[in-house]
Amino acid sequence: MKKFLAAICAAAIVFVAMYYSTRQPVTLTIGIFAGNNWDVPQGEPYAIIDEVITNFEAENPGVRVEYVSGIKREDYSEWLAEKFVSGDEPDIFFVLANDFNLYASIGGLMNLDGFIAADKNFSADVYYPAAFRFGQYENVSYALPCESTLTFMFVNKTLLAKEGVALPSNDWTWRDFLEICRKVTRDTDGDGVPDQFGCYDYTWRQAAISNGVKFFRDDGKTSYFADSRMEEAVKFVMELRGLNGGFEISPKDFDVGRVAFRPFTFAEYRTYKPYPWRIKKYSSFEWDCIKMPAGSSGGNISVMDTLLIGMSARTRNKDLAWALLKKFCYDEATQQMILQKSQALPVRRDVIISAEAAEIFSWEDSDTAAITPADISDAMDEAIMPFKFKNYRAAMMYADAELTKIIDGVVPFNNALNKLQKEINARLQY
């Protein structure tokens, strides 16, 4: 009996060995682009990707994950489209904001609602609302958020201190903003020309968003440029610009420290605030960032841009692809890695308000830092997501051109917003 049992065990071992020796490994592919989505310097473009892949492969023996390196962001949309046409698209892939609605509407992206509902180890509640909703099309989830950034107001603390102005709080308003800009805008050398200014690069879009304006209906068929809150925003920007006496502020004025405020993405803040980049840029003055100023009908709100990852509707390995998608977009360790190694912000709330985040955002001037992880978390909770409908970019380019004429006084303000709304609504029907 012992010999018989030994023979059976030996046969079983041989069978298992033969099975694993002949089984082909599963290969998953990822579509990625080199660098980052935020137009700031990045030293190791694939560091996070490679580490996530290594961890995933270790957790899933027999699974290999591959990607094509060297694809520039500006070439990525064309590369991905060619892959879809040939039927060889990646199992999961980064989805640029301008491409998301197209792939969702033509069935290129997997509907994730079933995976989300069935997975007991997944909860959308961990995400900031604007980040999670950005991956939805017609209320269906087709992608998950991976990382985000949003706009804050850069503050030249050295200039404010010189003028005896206190650093604004994170709940500051348009009135506070305007009063400070009025106080610091002046001619410092007595030549009759202003050479110190309040703000550079603050746009009508940022003013409108902080005043509660919703530019378009969700389906992109109607615009709201004649809204009274839009009128308030345009008038505010005109008043702000008027402080400069017609003088055009240049980027150089800002770079050398002659401007008090400038809107910045948090990716830029993370890039240039800590060592070593700060020794190369904005090193001649002390600076920090705070939330955007609130309009009279809005709040300290900005737009949150989010990088999405979706799953191909034609993947042959749905469960593994879902697991890999979660590894990039949901796994807490991956989100911590984004916090530590990238210029972006994680999309999980618990990671933003973690002790690790507090340590990373403290740097060496923590005692005077104007922005805290709690402030960042609040801003992400309050943020709105950008529109993604087909004609959005064209409509906003036209609006920008026309509103610039209004703000510069080329076009009379009276009834101009009503005309703009009618024209844009007509264009949205094409």
DSSP output for 332-367: HHHHHHHHHHSSSEESBHHHHTSHHHHHHTTTT-GG
Assign a CATH topology to domain 150-302+388-428.
Answer: D-Maltodextrin-Binding Protein; domain 2 (3.40.190)
Q: Give pLDDT < 50 ranges for the chain.
A: 14-23, 275-276, 279, 364, 366
pLDDT tens-digit readout, 215-244: 999 889 999 999 999 999 999 999 999 999
Instruction: Check: CB of residue 292 under 8 Å from CB of residue 263.
Output: yes
Domain 2-149+304-366 has CATH 3.40.190.10: yes
Single out the residue of 396, 427, 402 nearest to residue 415, CA to CA. Answer: 402
Question: Quick one: how many helices (H) and strands (E) in the chain?
Answer: 19, 11
At residue 148, the pLDDT reads: 96
Instruction: Check: CB of residue 305 under 8 Å from CB of residue 149.
Output: yes
At residue 21, the pLDDT reads: 39
Structure tokens belonging to residue 141:
């989830």
Cα–Cα distance measured from residue 294 to residue 133, given in angstroms and rounded to the nearest whole number: 23
The answer to whether the 2-149+304-366 and 150-302+388-428 domains have the same CATH topology is yes
Cα–Cα distance measured from residue 200 to residue 322, given in angstroms and rounded to the nearest whole number: 44
At residue 68, the pLDDT reads: 96
Cα–Cα distance measured from residue 12 to residue 238, given in angstroms and rounded to the nearest whole number: 82
Cα–Cα distance measured from residue 332 to residue 46, given in angstroms and rounded to the nearest whole number: 19
At residue 282, the pLDDT reads: 63
The reply to whether the predicted model has a pTM over 0.75 is yes
pLDDT tens-digit readout, 350-363: 999 999 888 887 75
Q: pLDDT exceeding 90 applies to what percent of the chain?
A: 75
At residue 287, the pLDDT reads: 87
At residue 430, the pLDDT reads: 81
What sections of 199-309 are H helices per DSSP? Answer: 204-209, 228-242, 251-255, 266-272
pLDDT tens-digit readout, 309-327: 999 999 999 999 999 999 9
Where are the chain's structural domains?
2-149+304-366, 150-302+388-428
